[in-house]
Chain A
Amino acid sequence: ILNVEQSPQSLHVQEGDSTNFTCSFPSSNFYALHWYRWETAKSPEALFVMTLNGDEKKKGRISATLNTKEGYSYLYIKGSQPEDSATYLCAFNPNRPGNMLTFGGGTRLMVKP
């Protein structure tokens, strides 16, 4: 069983605050790291797939960085808005057949207006 940890488990911020959270994963046998956004009562939706050490991805106010050597990824949200409220999941994709993802427990973000 692969150990994929996310911190914090939950986060409450005010509208306009910038925030970040962490995903840690095994540093060996790395293939890809996925970030998903999961709104309440909906299905998880892919945000980013990151494959290279030092990768940085950006989509609007959300960005992510990747360090495969030390086994962590950060997700940043600049100027949080209430519509950013969701659970953010990371998933580790090891280099093995089946493309199975091991998900972290998620960070639940709540943005207060």
Chain B
Amino acid sequence: DAGITQSPRHKVTETGTPVTLRCHQTENHRYMYWYRQDPGHGLRLIHYSYGVKDTDKGEVSDGYSVSRSKTEDFLLTLESATSSQTSVYFCASGQQGGALNEQFFGPGTRLTVL
């Protein structure tokens, strides 16, 4: 199994507060991704990174920002959390490019915004 961890695993916060979720991988993967999982939507891509300091937006990026200062760490920040951001967040990482870029997923972070 790829070594991908997420922290925290559970968080409850209030509307308007900033929240940062952390993803850490030990596989030296170039690509890292943040998804959110909501009923009926499967997994939707928020942001992704293709290298240190190289990031780009995904399908549902509004209200989120990311940073990648080291290969192993990818941070997702909600600048001012809203109730619509209550979700389960999954981080994933993958090898460098190619059609066989299997993504390895972390255990998920359940975020509740009250």
Contact = CB atoms under 8 A, between A and B. Distances in A.
Interface of A: 1, 6, 9, 31-32, 34, 42-46, 49, 51, 89, 91, 93, 97-106
A99 B94 contact: yes
Q: Interface extent on B, as a size class?
A: 20 to 34
Interface stretch (B13-21, B40-48, B62-70, B76-84): B40-48
A43 B48 CA distance: 18
A101 B41 CA distance: 14
B59 A99 contact: no
B45 A32 contact: no
Given A93-B99, A105-B40, A43 B45 contact: no
Interface of B: 31, 33, 35, 40-45, 48, 50, 56, 58-59, 90, 94, 97-108
Contacts of B101: 32, 93, 99
Given A49-B102, A100-B33, 4 more contacts: A44-B105, A99-B94, A102-B59, A105-B41
Nearest to B97: A99
